[in-house]
């Protein structure tokens, strides 16, 4: 990386002062409302599966995840999820429906490059890092747990 000069620093300071800021409060309120709503729907689905007799610690949460993933994927296919995301920001990115969106969006987008190099290869361009860091950190924590315990 090239060295940053004083002139560049001064200019970036000027830019920082004049450039319009995102509507912070509105964004946070929308993220809270939409994120909360998605979790509330998740709770409805969870209670529904528990009422069907699924085990409340493992089976019902798994079924809930799969259902929410389906909803996120379907709304992405219909072209609705990005419209929600435009207003909700993190409110629709952070829930598991957003994880589904991040998988379906590139899969659809790169269909024009074929089903192997396009759909399949690009499916995890956005969601891949979440799996990598999630799985790697869980394995690391598992290792620490194992060493401490045994």
Partner 1 sequence: MAVKKLGAQTVKFQNPPSIIATATVVGPVEGKGPLRNYFDLILGDFKFQEKSWEKAEKKMLKEAVEMAVKKSGVPSDKIEYFIAGDLLNQIISASFAARELGYPFLGIYGACSTVAEGLGIGAMLVDGGYADNIVVGTSSHFCSAERQYRFPLELGNQRPPTAQRTVTGAGAAVISTKNQNPRITYVTTGKVIDMGAVDPNDMGSAMAPAAVDTIVMHLEDSKRTPEDYDLIVTGDLASVGKDIAQKLMLQKGIDVSNKYTDCGLLIYSPEQDVHAGGSGCACAAVVTFGYIFNEMQKGRYNKILLVATGALMNSTIVQQGETIPCIAHAVALENL
Partner 2 sequence: MIDYIMAFLVGGLICAVGQILMDFTPLSPAHVLVVFVTLGAILSGLGLYQPLIDLAGAGASVPLPGFGHTLVKGVIDEVNKSGALGILTGGLKATAAGITAAIVFGYIMALIFNPKPK
99 CB contacts (<8 Å, ≥6 apart)? 69, 72, 127, 130
Run of H or E including 41: helix 24-51
Which among 103, 85, 100 is positioned nearest to 34, based on CA atoms?
Answer: 85
Specify the residue, 9 or 136, whose C-beta has the smaller distance to partner 1: 9
Residue 15 interacts, among partner 1, partner 2, none and using kind-specific CB cut-offs from 5 to 8 Å, with: partner 1
Point out which residues bind partner 1 (CB under 8 A): 1-2, 4-5, 7-9, 11-12, 14-15, 18-22, 27, 76, 79, 81-86, 88-89, 92-93, 98, 101-102, 104-106, 108-110, 112, 126
Give CA–CA dist 140/11, Å, rounded.
44
Give CA–CA dist 50/120, Å, rounded.
34
Residue 23 beta carbon to partner 2: minimum distance, rounded to whole angstroms: 9
Specify the residue, 42 or 85, whose C-beta has the smaller distance to partner 1: 85
Specify the residue, 14 or 120, whose C-beta has the smaller distance to partner 2: 120
Residue 63 beta carbon to partner 2: minimum distance, rounded to whole angstroms: 7
Residue 61 beta carbon to partner 1: minimum distance, rounded to whole angstroms: 23
Measured in whole angstroms, how far is the alpha carbon of residue 140 from the centre of its chain? 22
């Amino acid at each position: 990386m090239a060295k940053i000069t004083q002139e560049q620093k001064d200019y970036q300071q000027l830019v920082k002062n004049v450039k319009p800021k995102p509507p912070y409060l509105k964004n946070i309120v929308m993220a809270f409302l939409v994120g909360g709503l998605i979790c509330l729907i998740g709770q409805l689905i969870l209670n529904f599966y528990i009422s069907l007799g699924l085990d409340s610690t493992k089976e019902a949460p798994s079924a809930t995840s799969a259902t929410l993933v389906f909803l996120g994927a379907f709304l992405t296919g219909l072209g609705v999820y990005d419209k929600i995301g435009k207003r909700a920001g993190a409110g629709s990115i952070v829930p598991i429906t957003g994880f589904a969106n991040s998988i379906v969006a590139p899969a659809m987008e790169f269909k024009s490059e074929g089903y192997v190099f396009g759909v399949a290869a690009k499916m995890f361009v956005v969601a891949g890092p979440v799996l990598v860091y999630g799985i790697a950190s869980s394995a690391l924590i598992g290792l620490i747990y194992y060493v401490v315990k045994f």
